[in-house]
């Protein structure tokens, strides 16, 4: 194998730089891949283009596992579109709101609704947000708090579920990274092993009930709630309709008019979950759960769930099968962008393998960075990249290519390093003002975007800091139950912060606005 020296680092480094500078993941991966092909071809542009397409893009697309991932991703997109079109998820959230009678219960209900609608991070914001806007206003809770809750139950929930689009995408990156380093391991099993080390997702998700149970806010969120309280008090004193009260009346009317049957949500989701459980259980007790079994099980289960959804739409809403099929294919179209990122990530990974990038990086940093500290450093790098680009998907694609070979060559824990990639990318995406999920949370809650970003940041930084500490500990001790200690420490930290710097915000008059 040829020794390309420092040139082997150029393609991934160029992709990272361009991703941060241009915030365009497709462009960044394309340029990085072409640069790698250029190096491999001896800097002959013609041969570089031909080699890039024939020996890398086409080869990756012809891989059976890769093509299966693309097909599964498209089917998931179709199902999500059908479920959103049916109104079933909206009906489910509406049912949850009937049990709300206090500010704390209102926030917990929004949190539970966000956790339940796990199949799509973007759909979470656009379903839960509009439903809970009138409820939060009635309970005298500011929009910023709703935006924080739905944003923190979007991607942090989706990344923990292995059989939705996020899981399929991550498993494909893991599978290719492991193949490049010659490690034989089922991607599904690796993802399950990674689960307890997904520190940021777990910490951020459970920080919400920790804050709610305290009954206090601090920092910009406290100021936002106080400002909202003052505006409500003023409107009460004036005894005049305001834009806020008119908006509340319109939203409450819209909420009351939601009459889609709850079965439109529960039946397709039940079909999906039972089908997946049945497929995996069968193979677990026969020939073992292989990667192809996971992908085929997910594919067939989502098809069954889509059929169930279409049947219910026909029966309950008189929406024809042709219309359902059209909606299904529209949903598939929305996943083309993600599939393009996958193909380019696989291509760059293949090129880095030919350049022996991982080994060269390991040789460069092997004497300066203890292997146990690599996950913590990867977490920071992932957070920086994702914050700057607004894309956790792009961060996963680029970093997985680089750090898995480095971790393997350094002897760092692979499972924890992969978890650091996921947690770092998620943390940056969650706090980034240019992230699509952050923007959708602002849109869904009808909250000014910069207000959502500024109020959420202080809360997210607590979980991010705890996750960083967690990866330092995990690098040295490699014990799954570290997350238990982190959650307890975060609870104590949150209570201390809100006690010292926070105030109760439940002092608004109970008079109906």
Whether 13 is in a domain gets the answer yes
Residue 113 confidence (pLDDT): 83
Check residue 56 and report its DSSP letter: I
Q: Which residues contact 344 (CB under 8 A, 6 or more apart)?
A: 26, 29, 30, 33, 397
Residue 508 confidence (pLDDT) above 60: no
pLDDT of residue 165: 74
**pLDDT-based confidence at residue 253 (cuts at 50, 70, 90):** very low
H/E stretch holding 503? strand 503-504
Name the DSSP letter for residue 43.
S
In this prediction, residue 97 has a pLDDT band, given cuts at 50, 70 and 90, of low
With contact defined as beta carbons under 8 Å apart, do 93 and 117 qualify? yes
> 243 in a domain, yes or no?
no
454: containing domain: 5-233+263-504
Residue 292 resides in a domain:
yes
- H helices within 334-411, ranges in order? 336-355, 357-365, 374-389, 392-410
Instruction: Pick the range with the lowest mean pLDDT from 49-63, 173-187, 190-204.
Output: 173-187
Rg (CA), the chain: 24
What would the pLDDT profile of 360-388 be if each residue is shown by its tens digit?
Answer: 766 676 567 888 999 999 999 888 888 86
What percent of the chain stands above pLDDT 70?
85
Rounded to whole angstroms, the Cα distance separating 424 from 431 reads: 11
Residue 245 lies in a domain: no
Q: What is the pLDDT of residue 513?
A: 35
- Residue 385 DSSP SS3: helix
d(CA 324, CA 330): 10
Find, among 59, 382, 341, 407, the residue nearest to 172 by Cα. 341
pLDDT tens profile 416-426: 999 999 999 99
Domain-embedded: residue 513: no
Q: Looking at the 3D structure of the chain, how many domains does it have? A: 1
Per-chain mean pLDDT for the chain: 82
pLDDT at residue 358, as a whole number:
65
Residue 246 lies in a domain: no
**What is residue 94's predicted lDDT score, i.e. its pLDDT?**
67
Residue 504, strand partner residues: 216
Q: Answer yes or no: is 242 within a domain.
A: no
């Amino acid at each position: 194998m040829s020794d390309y020296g420092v040139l082997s680092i150029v393609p991934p480094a160029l992709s990272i730089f361009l991703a941060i500078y241009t915030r365009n993941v497709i462009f960044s991966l394309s340029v990085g891949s072409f640069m790698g092909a250029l190096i491999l071809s001896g800097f002959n542009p013609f041969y570089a283009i031909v080699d890039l397409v024939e020996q890398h893009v086409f080869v990756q697309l012809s891989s059976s596992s890769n093509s299966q991932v693309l097909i599964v991703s498209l089917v998931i997109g179709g199902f999500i579109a059908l479920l959103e079109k049916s109104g079933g998820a909206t009906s489910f959230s509406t049912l949850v709101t009937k049990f709300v009678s206090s500010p704390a219960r209102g926030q917990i209900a929004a949190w539970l609704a966000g956790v339940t609608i796990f199949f799509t991070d973007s759909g979470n914001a656009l379903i839960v947000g509009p439903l809970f806007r009138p409820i939060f206003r009635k309970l005298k809770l500011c929009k910023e708090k709703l935006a924080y809750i739905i944003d923190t139950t979007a991607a942090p929930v989706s990344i923990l579920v292995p059989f939705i689009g996020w899981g399929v995408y991550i498993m494909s990156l893991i599978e290719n990274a492991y193949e490049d380093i010659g490690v034989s391991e089922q991607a599904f099993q690796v993802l399950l092993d990674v689960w307890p080390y997904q520190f940021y997702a777990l910490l951020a998700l459970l920080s919400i009930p920790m804050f709610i149970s305290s009954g206090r806010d601090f920092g910009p969120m406290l100021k936002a709630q106080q400002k909202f309280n003052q505006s409500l008090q003023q409107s009460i004193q004036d005894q005049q309709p305001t834009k806020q009260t008119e908006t509340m009346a319109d939203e409450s009317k819209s909420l009351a008019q939601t009459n889609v049957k709850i079965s439109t949500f529960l039946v397709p989701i039940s079909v999906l979950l039972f089908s997946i459980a049945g497929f995996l259980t069968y193979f677990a007790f026969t020939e073992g759960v292989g990667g192809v079994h996971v992908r085929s099980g997910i594919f067939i289960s989502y098809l069954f769930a889509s059929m169930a959804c279409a049947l219910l739409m026909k029966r309950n809403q008189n929406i024809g099968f042709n219309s359902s099929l059209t909606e299904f294919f529209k949903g598939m179209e929305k996943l083309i962008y993600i599939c393009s990122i996958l193909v380019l990530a696989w291509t760059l990974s293949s090129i880095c393998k030919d350049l022996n990038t991982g080994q060269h990086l390991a040789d460069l940093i092997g004497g300066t960075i203890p292997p146990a500290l690599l996950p913590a450093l990867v977490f920071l790098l992932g957070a920086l990249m994702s914050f700057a680009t607004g894309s956790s998907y792009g961060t996963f694609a680029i970093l997985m290519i680089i750090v898995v070979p480095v971790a393997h060559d350094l002897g760092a824990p692979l499972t924890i390093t992969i978890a650091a990639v996921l947690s770092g990318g998620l943390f940056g995406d969650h706090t980034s003002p240019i992230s699509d999920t952050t923007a959708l949370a602002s849109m869904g809650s009808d909250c000014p975007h910069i207000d959502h970003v500024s109020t959420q940041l202080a809360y997210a930084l607590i979980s991010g800091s705890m996750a960083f500490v967690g990866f330092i500990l995990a690098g040295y001790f490699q014990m799954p139950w570290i997350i238990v200690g982190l959650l307890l420490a975060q609870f104590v930290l949150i209570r201390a912060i809100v006690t010292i710097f926070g105030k109760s915000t439940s002092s608004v008059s109970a008079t109906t606005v």
